[in-house]
Chain A
Amino acid sequence: MGLQIFWYIAVALLWTGFFVLEGFDFGVGALQRVIGKDDDERRVVINTIGPVWDGNEVWLIVAGAGIFAAFPPWYATMFSAMYLAMLLLLVALILRGVAFEFRGKRQSLRWRNGWGLAQTLSSLAAPFLIGVALADLLHGLPIDASQEFTGSFWDLLPPYAIFAGLTFVSLCLLHGATFVSLKTTGDVHDRAHRIARQQTIAAGVAVLVFGIWTQVTIRHGAFPDFLSTAAVLAIFAAGWLLGERREGWAFTLTAFAMAATVLTIFIDLYPRVMVSTTDPSYSLTVTNASSSPYALKVMTVVAVIFLPIVLVYQAWSYHVFRKRIGTAEPEPATH
């Protein structure tokens, strides 16, 4: 039982890490055309996440693979149940990934705007779809006694899950705008700063409603839990700190708000991992969906060794690229 809980926590933390890190990448990608007014400025916006986005996206891969290794039935049921949603997510992630690399590879403005648009749309779609998916786990899906999904595509889209998706999009926009204002100078900075401050209101309200709706969904009354309340307070505090030009602290708080919102889902989900709306006893749980003790032990050893190393070198890469960037910097000759 000990390792099953450990791995449930590990999976929850991997998804949290993913949203905290890739969350601002999504926000930056989505807002690049709003924050950057011309091609040069958009380049600056994208380059704020240029060195790190790829490493951040690996958190998603590891979160998925972590579920596969530690809870195979969870992986099997979730990914097959959400087939078409997963397809959409893959399309978004594919477009987004190549948009980064391909955008600057030609001078043509049409080419660059095309990839910019692809990046905006895919950066909005991805957090929305993943948010819906995580909320579906908690809201529940029609799952039968043999852990197979019996519903259709539309069963994946209850209003609660759609709202959760929008909440995550809203949080990503706030987190991304805050990140750009932390990382840039000049006009780009000022615009990002203004958008971040405006976005605190939308994101704060969204998380508040999400917190209440979550408790209603799991029939725990109509008051948001401690974590989502803390997230809402953190968002408004971030708005105030942005006003005080303390962008580092503001970013810390938007990261906290993101983490708290993801963890709200996982805390309310436990000990289940996928709720069945057909019959609560059909739900997949930490115990009936886990790998064998030996497999979990192997995975634990691997995670305990490698995860700290990963954290150290990812932190180091943020340290290397800590400087603010601006349009004054010359465009490199490769492009």
Chain B
Amino acid sequence: MTNLDLARLQFATTSIYHFLFVPVTIGLAFLVALLETTWHRRRDEDYLRLTRFFGTLLVINIAVGVVTGLVQEFQFGMNWSTYSRFVGDVFGAPLAIEGLAAFFLESTFLGLWLFGWGRLSDRMHLATIWLVAAGAALSAAFIMAANSWMQHPVGYQLNGGRAELTSIWAVLTNPVFIWGYLHVLLASLVTGAVIMLAVSAWHLRRNSQVEAFHRTAVISLIVLLPSILFAMMVGSRLGVIETTYQPMKVGAMEAQWDTCQPCSFSVFQIGGGKNDETPTKIIAIPHLLSLLADDSWDGKVVGMNELNQQYQQRYGPGNYVPNVFVQYWSMRVMAYLAVFVFLFAAWGVWLVRRGTLARSKWFLLVAPWFVIVPFLMNTAGWMLTENGRQPWIVQGLQLTKDAVSPSVSVTMIAISLSVFAVLYGALAVLDWTLMIRYGRKQIDPVPELDEEGGLSEAAAMTY
């Protein structure tokens, strides 16, 4: 393996790993804020207990999310110094703004939320969890703005061998960013809601605190159904936008080597590995690819062979086709699982409407296991986005192979990759066991309230 392969492997694995935690934080922070708001409005103590119960799960997850985020921030300079030099003028700004505007907010108010029970007024305490949720959501916005610039660079000019920012406004209104960010936010709500639903279902099935956990089951389903529906709609809009700016990404998604019009969508294929151009496509749905890629019944999708020729004329000799097999399947894993989540959510909502959710044996049996699905879906989504951009690190501007740190050797990356593998593996086990342990706990009794119905300082969630 070359240092390029290892650096890519390290970035891919650490990013995928980091993004297991990010959507949980964003989604669960919002849901916990929702629970605390309900407590604030109704003064029903169950909601207070549930806020603290799911807040603990949120905090366990945030711990790993934050520390793995540090790695992401340092890694651009460590492994991709040529990239950093080339794009820092544009790419550094959203990262710095993320820290200043979002990350400070999230972490400072998380401390206030955890330790501020009984010390802050109820209203103020409620504000802190909303600020945590806002900080988490906002921090994803700037990261997505930076990533979207790599997918579709805007608001820059090339000068002296580097990209220089000419319009921050263009970077922040990049259509890839706006739709991509909405997509990520909705996927995060889906992830948070599925976790809350899974935990609630586990308890309901064991007749444990049925009244309280029925409430969170219902809340999570109410959030889940529209979130997954909108996530799919926004995602399909994003696909159309990508057809305009990254046609190769979309061509590879369908293993479409030759230009087609109208274009059909294959449900699955046999073969297609190593960019084999003749996979056997099974069950072709006419016109569906035209609709997905071009938003029209007879839309045209330019094939990869034609695109590759265009790119060779524009950028010089080379192969501009990404790994088609990964692209084809990551799209399908993401989309099929999304449909699966939608059906599952619809089932749950139907049970709620019938009033039989708490007694439904099958749903409660499936729901805890269902927790794995959004993680697979999110990961597939990122593989689709990032693999589809290859061989570019910044679409049309810099190739991934030209972006690595020249001073970092294969041995050094091998060391860091092994260290991260061991450390991240251990963290995954710890995080998972703690999440399960705390997810299965009884919810704590209400901390003692004073005469005015307020919490005492003993309610602080200290270390």
Contacts and interface: CB of A to CB of B under 8 A. Distances in A.
Partners in one complex: yes
Interface of A: 43, 46-47, 50-55, 57-58, 61-62, 64-66, 68-73, 75-81, 83-84, 86-87, 90-91, 93-94, 97-98, 100-105, 147-150, 291-292, 294-295, 298-299, 302-303, 306-307, 310, 313-314, 317, 320-321, 329-335
Contacts of A105: 60, 434, 437-438
A333 B52 CA distance: 11
Majority DSSP secondary structure for residues of A touching B:
helix
Contacts of B82: 76
B271 interface: no
Interface string B87-121: 11111110111111101110111111011100110
Majority DSSP secondary structure for residues of B touching A:
helix
- Pick from A53, A76, A84, A97 the residue with the most CB of B within 10 Å: A76
Given A54-B107, A61-B70, A69-B93, A321 B59 contact: no
B92 A294 contact: no
Contacts of B283: none
B95 A65 contact: yes
13 contacts: A55-B107, A58-B107, A61-B73, A68-B96, A73-B85, A76-B85, A80-B77, A83-B78, A83-B416, A84-B412, A94-B67, A102-B434, A332-B458
B168 interface: yes
B79 interface: yes
Given A75-B77, A78-B77, A294-B166, A299 B104 contact: no
A314 B108 contact: yes
- Pick from A66, A83, A104, A302 the residue with the most CB of B within 10 Å: A83
Interface stretch (B190-198, B309-317, B403-411): B403-411
B88 A334 contact: no
Given A72-B89, A90-B74, A332-B461, A294 B165 contact: yes
A226 B96 CA distance: 32
A122 to B, nearest CB: 11
B282 to A, nearest CB: 45
B284 interface: no
Contacts of B100: 62, 302-303, 306-307, 310
Interface in B429-463: 430, 434, 437-438, 444-445, 447, 457-463
Interface in B295-329: none
Interface of B: 52, 56, 59-60, 62-64, 66-68, 70-71, 73-74, 76-79, 81-82, 84-85, 87-93, 95-101, 103-105, 107-112, 114-116, 119-120, 159, 162, 164-166, 168, 405-408, 412, 415-416, 419, 423, 427, 430, 434, 437-438, 444-445, 447, 457-463
Contacts of A320: 112, 116, 119-120
B136 to A, nearest CB: 13
Contacts of A317: 108, 111-112
B165 A295 contact: yes
A167 to B, nearest CB: 24
A333 B90 CA distance: 48
Contacts, number: 239
B104 A58 contact: yes
A84 B409 CA distance: 11
A295 B89 contact: yes
Given A68-B77, A98-B67, A298-B168, A55 B93 contact: no
A61 B438 CA distance: 30
Contacts of B116: 51, 320
A334 B458 CA distance: 11
B84 A90 contact: no
- Pick from A43, A72, A147, A320 the residue with the most CB of B within 10 Å: A72
Contacts of A91: 419, 423
Given A64-B74, A65-B73, A81 B407 contact: yes
B442 to A, nearest CB: 11
A299 B63 contact: no
Given A76-B84, A94-B427, 16 more contacts: A51-B114, A57-B107, A73-B88, A81-B407, A83-B78, A83-B408, A83-B412, A94-B67, A101-B60, A150-B407, A291-B89, A302-B97, A303-B100, A313-B105, A321-B119, A335-B462
> What are the 8 A-B residue pairs with the smallest beta carbon separation, nearest first?
A72-B88, A79-B77, A69-B92, A101-B63, A55-B108, A62-B99, A51-B111, A76-B81
